[in-house]
Amino acid sequence: MTEDALLSCRDLRKTYGKDAGLVRAVDGVDLDVAAGETVAIMGPSGCGKSTLLHLLGGLDRPSGGEVRLASRRVDQMSERALARLRQDAVGFVFQAFHLMDELTAVENVELPALLAGRPARAARRRATELMERVGLAERAGFLPTALSGGQRQRVAIARAVANEPAVVLADEPTGNLDSAATLEVLRLFESLHAAGQTLVIVTHDSRIAATADRMISMRDGTFIDETRLTGGTRGDLGALAGLEGWS
C-alpha cells in the first residue's frame, strides 16, 4: 500500500446471502486516497458504491479484505473502536440527510461533538462557526423542516466536519436535490477541498464528479476505470456554447 495514503483498502469484499442467492456487493476493490484528495466514485445504481463507502467508514463489516484509515486497520476494529473512529476520523454525509427533525440546525451540527463527550459550550461554539462557514448562520435556529433540501444537506455537511475528521465520506450527497441546491452543495465541496479536506464522494451526478481530482467508475462491485481530472482541457467552451466563428 502507498505509504502516504490516508485511506486505503485492499481486495475489499462484501457478500450477502448464499448459494443461489449470493450477491457480491463489493467484489475485490483496491483504493488509495491521499490526504487532501477528492475522489469521486461513479456507477449505475446497484453497483455497490454505497456499500463500499459504508465499508470504508466502518458502518458495515467487510466479508474479506482490509481497510486502513490513518494506518489503523478498520475492518478488525471492535464496535467501540469504530465508534471512536467515527468520532474523530470519519464524517458521513448521506443522501437522505438524516438530520434529527426535532433539533434545530445548530443543534444537529453540535451533536457529534456532544456524543464524543466534548463540553456543551465548546460544542455549541464550534457548531455556530460551522454554520457560518456553510453560509447558513442566520438559519441556525431553524428546524430541518423549515429548510430547503440544499440547506439541509449543507447542515449535514457541517455536521460531518464538526469533529474535524480526517476524511469525509459522502453517499450520493446530491441525490435528493434539484440543480440549484446541487450548486450550493458543489460550492461547499469545492471550499472544503480548497481547505485541504480529504473527500470520497459516491455519486451518479457528473457535476459532482467533475470537481474531483480523480474519478473512478464502478460496476458490479469492482472498479472499471479511473480518470485523473487534472490538466487543462483541449476543447473550447465557446464552441460548445455555439459561438463558433466569433473569435
Partner 1 sequence: MQQEVVLALLAKEPSHGYQLRARLRQALGPLGEGMNAGQVYVTLTRLEKAGLVVAEQAAGLPDRPDRKVYELTPAGQQRVAGWLAEVSWPGPAPAEFHLKLVAAAAARLADPLTIVDVQRRELLLRLRDAQRAAMAEPDGSEAGLLLEGLVLRLQADLRWLEACERHWTSRRDGS
Partner 2 sequence: MSRLRLVGRLAARDLRNRPGQAVLMLLAITAATATLTLGLVLHGVTSQPYQQTRAASRGPDEVAYLGSPPAAGLAPGSAAPAAGTKLVKQVRSQAAALARAPGVTASSGPYPLAGALVRAKGLTAGAEAEGRDGAPASVDQPRLTAGSWVRPGGVVLERTFAAGLGVGTGDRITLNGRPFTVTGIAVTAANPPYPNLCYYSGGGCRAGPPGNGSPRDIGLLWLTRPDALSLATPANPVTTYVVDLKLKDPAAADAFALRYDEGFGPPEMISWTGIAAADALLVQDEQQVLTPGAWLAALLAIASVAVLAGGRMTQRTRRVGLLKAVGGSPGLITATLMAENLVLALVAAAAGLVIGWPAAPLLTSPGAALVGTPGAPSLTVPIAGLVLAVALAVALAATTVPAVRAARGSTVGALADAPRPPRRRPRLLALSRRLPVPLLLGLRLVARRPRRALLGAANVAITMAGVVAVLTFHATAGQRVNGGGSGLSDPVYNRDEQVLLVLTVTLLALAALNAVVTAWTTMLDTRHPAALARALGATPRNVAAGLTAAQLLPAVPGALLGIPLGLGLFAAADHGGRLTVPPAWWLAVAVLATLAAVAGLAAIPARVGARRPAAEILQAETA
Q: Of 77-85, 185-193, 200-208, 216-224, which part binds partner 2 (CB under 8 A)? A: 77-85
- One-letter amino acid of 101: D
Binding residue (CB under 8 A) for partner 2 from 2, 145, 230, 247: 145
Tell me which H or E stretch contains 133.
Answer: helix 120-133
Radius of gyration of the chain (CA): 19
Q: Residue 162 in contact with residue 110, Cβ under 8 Å?
A: yes
- Contact pattern for partner 1 over residues 35 through 54, marking x by CB under 8 A: ---------x----------
Q: Decide if residue 172 touches partner 2 (CB under 8 A).
A: no
Q: What is the smallest separation between the CB atom of 106 and partner 1, expressed in angstroms?
A: 25
Binding residue (CB under 8 A) for partner 1 from 135, 187, 193, 222: 187
Binding residue (CB under 8 A) for partner 1 from 72, 73, 125, 207: 207
Identify the burial level of 2 via C-beta atoms within 10 angstroms of its C-beta, where 0-12 means exposed, 13-18 middle and 19 or more buried.
exposed
d(CA 62, CA 57) in angstroms, rounded, equals 11
Q: What is the smallest separation between the CB atom of 226 and partner 1, expressed in angstroms?
A: 10
Tell me which H or E stretch contains 137.
Answer: none
Query: What, of partner 2, partner 1, none, does residue 18 touch, CB below 5 to 8 Å by kind?
Result: none
Q: Of 23 and 183, which CB lies nearer to partner 1 in the complex structure?
A: 183
Q: Decide if residue 183 touches partner 1 (CB under 8 A).
A: yes
Tell me which H or E stretch contains 247.
Answer: none
d(CA 230, CA 227) in angstroms, rounded, equals 9
Q: Of 80 and 234, which CB lies nearer to partner 1 in the complex structure?
A: 234
- One-letter amino acid of 36: G
Q: Residue 170 in contact with residue 98, Cβ under 8 Å?
A: no
d(CA 85, CA 186) in angstroms, rounded, equals 26
Q: Of 31-39, 50-58, 129-137, 212-220, which part binds partner 2 (CB under 8 A)? A: 50-58
Rule CB under 8 A: which of 98-127 touch partner 1? none
Q: Of 182 and 198, which CB lies nearer to partner 1 in the complex structure?
A: 182
What residues does 91 pair with on adjacent strands? 168
What residues does 214 pair with on adjacent strands? 39, 228
Residue 100: DSSP 8-state: -
Binding residue (CB under 8 A) for partner 2 from 49, 68, 154, 159: 159
- One-letter amino acid of 105: A
Q: By the criterion CB under 8 A, which residues form the site for partner 2?
A: 50-51, 54, 59-61, 79-80, 83-84, 86-88, 92, 94, 96, 98-103, 107, 110-112, 114-117, 120, 123-124, 143, 145, 159, 163
Residue ranges in contact with partner 1 by CB under 8 A:
44, 179, 183, 186-187, 190, 205-207, 209-211, 215, 225, 227, 229, 231-238, 240-243, 245-247
